[in-house]
Structure 1
Amino acid sequence: MKDLKKEDIKQEVFDLYDDYAHNKLNRRQFVEKLSLYAVGGVTISSLLSFMSPDYVNSLLVKPDDPTLNSGFITYESPKGGGTIKGLLSQPKDSTTKVPGVIVVHENRGLNPYIEDVGRRTAKEGFISLAPDALSPLGGYPGNDDDGRTMQKERNQQEMLEDFIAAYHYLKNHENCDGNVGVVGFCFGGWISNMMAVRIPELGAAVPYYGRQPEAEDAVKIKAPLLLQYAELDTRVNAGWPAFEEILKAENITYTAYMYPEVNHGFHNNTTPRYDKAAATLSWKRTIAFFKEHLK
């Protein structure tokens, strides 16, 4: 069996994975279409394994990092019923209150990658909260396939309310200085855009490859935006020109980057869609943006 490398994978396979990850294909359809690319010593099982997330070997900040206080909290869900669980992470030895950042997961719940991003954010001197929108259904189930299925059962607007509630929880936390921003990925990118629509006092929003708000919502944005897009992500990018027109017309503060020759999900270091150069640069820009605006 051939040992796969990213350069061995055709762009069509990444596009198929994107359709699968966004519920346009079920697993059976994904495997059937993937079989067309199982040639030249490449098997279906090796392709599936290569495209699947590797959470075990991808953590950049360990859960027990000695410089952080990181653990789960709960807060009330205003629409979904019950409580929302979230990972709260903060610098251990900070003697002053610090700005806060909400970290919003993709369309599969609070998986280890997003927990890690929450801790990465705290390592930069922020207090971060990474909620799990699957909490009313029992929480992230331990794998992304079931997580995607579960998340489809929740109403998007109700989940948005849960993340808005997370903003208020963090803003009022005893260790937060009241300045709060949001960063989100994929579904979380849309949530980040919509939090900018819904929360006039939001300090900053950084949507990664997030679906854009409707025009009637976009005009309500007050928060500065840092928009991170992937050049090969034609699905999300289709909405960008119209969104940019509104941002310009309404004099909304924004900076947008289109990272060349990378796929949707390029920041996620657990799958081969990851692009180290783009992920590193975009994260450096994200942290600098928060340090500029959350003060």
Structure 2
Amino acid sequence: MNKPTQGRLTAADFDQDLLDLYDYYAHGKISKREFLDRAGKWAVGGLTAAAILGTLSPNYALAQQVAEDDDDIIGEDITYPSPDGTGDITAYIVRPANIDPAHPPAAVLVVHENRGLNPYIRDVVRRLAKAGFIAMGPDGLSSLGGYPGTDDEGRDMQRTLDQDALLNDFFAGFEYLQALEGTNGKIGATGFCYGGGVVNKLAVAYPEMAAGVPFYGAPPTAEQVAAIQAPLRIQLAALDQRINAMWPAYQEALEKNDKRYVADIYPGVNHGFHNDTTPRYDAEMAKLAETRMIAWFRTYLAG
């Protein structure tokens, strides 16, 4: 761990090997014990490995960019059925406050990371509503009581679920938006980490999906790419070795099948750079990525 910069910690305050080690832990590739054991080499000057983990973990006091009571939006928690998934799913749906019935908005499904519907993802839902969309973020942990309040617990809980059933919960969320009254009938999807992979799977399963913006998510198989019809704006972090190792084959399949896509690879940033609650957050690149996401949806989800 390097000497902290002024203000909140950023990726520049950590050795890249430590950031990569945290990425393995955050995605269940190593246990907490193994992370703490291996992070010990950076525990100097009275700093403990546990303290290092604490500084790298989300701090949701930093998460809110759009307040729940923002005058431009109206949000509520709803429940929808997922008969092929884990049961009834709780979701956070947010609408623009002033909708012109003659020009209804499109809808966007927002898929969380591998830890449930945490405050960061709820804020992303609000940001999209403030940008003019009806946005909905399902909680994949609904069958277990919902997001538990910490990402460590949420990650452990999500890992216990039947992964096919969990995926069907998000498919059911997409279908809920398809049937929702008051939209223009066009549905897009964005997601982060695990959720980025779900967006890719949605594009395969629903050729009618109007647009997708997956953030650093696992790709579909090369054979599945042929089914994709949605234009995709794929967001990748240049330092994300784990996901980027899968990108060449995905890109080749997209090109081979003549799919509409743009891939943005952000220099000098790590997996999770859009998440504003951890030191991996990069404000400049996150803002650029979000601007591109909203522009993509405005282009392809217009009525």
State the shift of 1:8 in Å. Answer: 2.6
Match of 2:282 in 1: 275
Aligned residue for 1:195? 202
Give the equivalent residue in structure 2 for 1:12.
17
The question of 1:77 aligning with 2:106 is answered no
The residue number in structure 1 matching 2:133 is 126
Tell me, in whole angstroms, the C-alpha distance in 1 between the residues paired with 2:297 and 2:166.
24
1:36 equivalent in alignment to 2:48: no
Q: Are residues 1:241 and 2:241 paired? A: no
1:110 aligns with one of 114, 117, 120:
117
Q: Which has the higher contact order (CA 8 A, sep 6+)?
A: 2
Shift of 1:144: 0.6
Q: Distance in 2 between matches of 1:261 and 1:102?
A: 28
Q: TM-score, normalised to structure 1's length?
A: 0.96
Which residue number corresponds to residue 68 of structure 2? Answer: 63
- 1:250 lines up with 2:257 in the alignment: yes
What is the distance in 2 between the residues matched to 1:229 and 1:88?
Answer: 27
Q: Is 1:171 equivalent to 2:178 in the alignment? A: yes
Aligned alpha-carbon RMSD (Å): 1.4
By how many angstroms is 1:281 displaced?
A: 0.4
Q: Quick one: which of 225, 228, 231 aligns to 1:221?
A: 228
Is the Cα–Cα contact under 8 Å of residues 90 and 126 in structure 1 kept in the other structure? Answer: yes
Paired amino acid for 2:151 = D
Structure 2: 5+ residue stretches without partners? none
After TM superposition, give the deviation of residue 41 of structure 1 in Å: 5.0
- Residue 57 of structure 1 deviates from its aligned partner by 2.7
8 Å CA contact retained: 2:39, 2:49: yes
Corresponding position of 1:92: 97
The answer as to whether partners of 1:104 and 1:192 remain within 8 angstroms in 2 is yes
Which digits, 9 at most, give the CA deviation of each residue in 1:9-47, with x for residues without a partner?
101111111011000111111111111101245433432
- Classify the secondary structure of the residue corresponding to 2:28: coil
Q: 1:48 is matched with which residue?
A: 53
In the TM superposition, what is the alpha-carbon distance from 1:3 to its structure 2 partner? 5.6
1:109-135: CA deviations, max 9, x gaps? 100000000000100000001001111
1:62 offset after TM fit, Å?
1.3
- 1:92-149 deviation per Cα after TM superposition (whole angstroms, max 9, x unaligned): 1112321000000000010000000000010000000100111112111111111111
The alignment covers a number of residue pairs equal to: 294
Q: Is the 8 A contact 2:167 2:198 kept in 1?
A: yes
Q: Percent identity?
A: 48
User: Equivalents in 1 of 2:121, 2:67: separation in Å?
Assistant: 12
1:177 aligned counterpart, secondary structure: coil
Stretch deviating more after TM superposition (51-60 or 84-93): 51-60
Q: C-alpha deviations, 1:235-269, integer Å up to 9, x for none?
A: 10111111111111111100001101100000000
CA 234–95 in structure 1, closer or farther in 2 if over 3 Å, else same:
same
The Cα of 1:82 is off from its aligned counterpart by: 2.5
SS at match of 2:235: strand
Work out the CA distance in 1 between the residues paired with 2:136 and 2:294.
Answer: 15
Return the letter of the residue paired with 2:148: P
TM-score normalized with structure 2 length: 0.94
How many angstroms does 1:172 deviate by? 1.9
Taking the aligned partners of 1:253 and 1:151, their CA distance within structure 2 comes to: 32
